[in-house]
Chain A
Amino acid sequence: MKIGVITYPGTLDDRDAQRAVRLAGGTPVPLWHADDSLKGVDAVVLPGGFSYGDYLRCGAIAAKAPATQEVVRLAKQGLPVLGICNGFQVLVESHLLPGGLIRNEHQHFICRDQKLIVENNKTAWTNLFEEGQEITIPLKNGEGGYIASDETLKMLEAENRVVFRYSEVNPNGSMNDIAGLTNERGNVVGLMPHPEHAVEPGFGPDTEIAMRSGVDGLKFFQSVLKALVNA
């Protein structure tokens, strides 16, 4: 299975996302923002970083890139898409997901091992989790505060489209503790924490068992491979 990873100018976690795909058993395919072809990949990851230096608004310029436009077109036909951190911001700016992301409530950039509750395990990227499962995924952002209108929040909750919720600590002031969302169809998922940083023992978050041994993020990438096989 070929999973594309888009690199925009200022993307930082592209190689990490490629590694995560490889460790999950997929074949990572590097994609360039200026190309309008996605090279026939079976799914796409929009990785973290500071595309275009976060100028204008985080993700706003990347949302206009030719590769993103193609992602928008194919996502509407069911292509699985995962937006991580800046990638989530790009998905919101592309209107594939509703709401917006603003400066963290406490104003600081924050990097921490974040506990999340998996609220929806029916999406292409979460089908290997249990509903209600607590997982630990590194979070690192300056503008991760999720906001939306009351109406949108009600709709998201009613349709079970909140995929992840912050547990124990809400690190950035997100409304309803929202850490990640999906679209109506469940093929597009965006979240602020970084699953690609919890895929390899020794380099992930700390766990009860051992230092840096957390690999909860691997399931994101294994989930999409399962979804593609079953599709």
Chain B
Amino acid sequence: MSLHLAVALDGAGWHPAAWRAEGAQPDRLFTAGYWADLVIEAERGLLDWVTFEDSLSLQSSRHDQVLGRLDAVLLAAAVAPLTSKIGLIPTTSVTHTEPFHVAIGIASLDYASKGRAGWRPRVSGRPDEAAHFGRREVPDLDALFREAADAVEVVRRLWDSWEDDAEIRDAATGRFIDRDRLHYIDFQGEFFSVKGPSITPRPPQGQPLVTALGHSTTPYEFAAANADVLYVTPADRDDARRIAGEVRELNPGLKVFADLVVFLGDHKARLDDLDGAPLESDAHVFEGTPAELADLLLDWGFEGYRLRPGVLPHDLTAITRGLVPELQARGAFRTAYEAPDLRGRLGLGRPASRYARVS
């Protein structure tokens, strides 16, 4: 069995004191070169994709932790021309960001990367984010997820709103497009309506990969109905089996990846000391050698994992140069990229536009 491996990039790494670790590059966090170096390293390790975290507020109230972030879609776009195989999956808010802007942004990333774009819609229930947009009331979790489902539906319809062959350039009739192959999406929901069509032609993948992170049944249901990939956060092997079972019942076709925070080496303890407390995480925190991590990945039994490096670039490099060869030696990881586009890498075909007439 061959695993899928993604890496989640965020700031200096997932430990709050990561920016103080040996080899960390806190001066470069807001430069394109820092991110380009990381993604090129991930591509060298043949990883499936990298994700870029994002939110619309500061990460922390502490001044001894990384503060500040760049817009994830733009960050992904800036590394797209410097890479050619690896998938690029930014996070955006679906609570505060217009679905129309998200749809054309991710479609444009798919063009810039020639078919390697994905998207992670994220709900935001934080009052500080709402205050940045002048919203007084934060909806409850159920409403946030109903709204998120509508946003994904709108984005997916907009991606399909130009049929693949809508551009005809017909000199005889003077028509650049066949307007019968452009479609109003006419979405009307509980929270908003969007007319369409998109201003951006159908992206190279047709439907860029939609991914979601979930810790409980409501987001699992959201992902089962709307996403191609779900990241889950099991605490241990038994939890992994339980979650996998629950999700399989909701949607057996959904790709399920487990998230792990990884420290490949013994550097975590020093960082915990610096930060004043042991690392707390929604995901299982792994410490050990690449071989031990390979054991765990094969034991838990997911088809893929999203690894969150504790320290960048250290734990990323340990993944690409330590874990990857270990898995390859066991016949559990690719030795070259197969499919050119991101969907293809997961065995997902290129879907026809939902609006295309069946001929």
Q: Do A and B come from one complex?
A: no
Q: Which residues of B contact A (CB under 8 A)?
A: none
Q: Which residues of A contact B (CB under 8 A)?
A: none
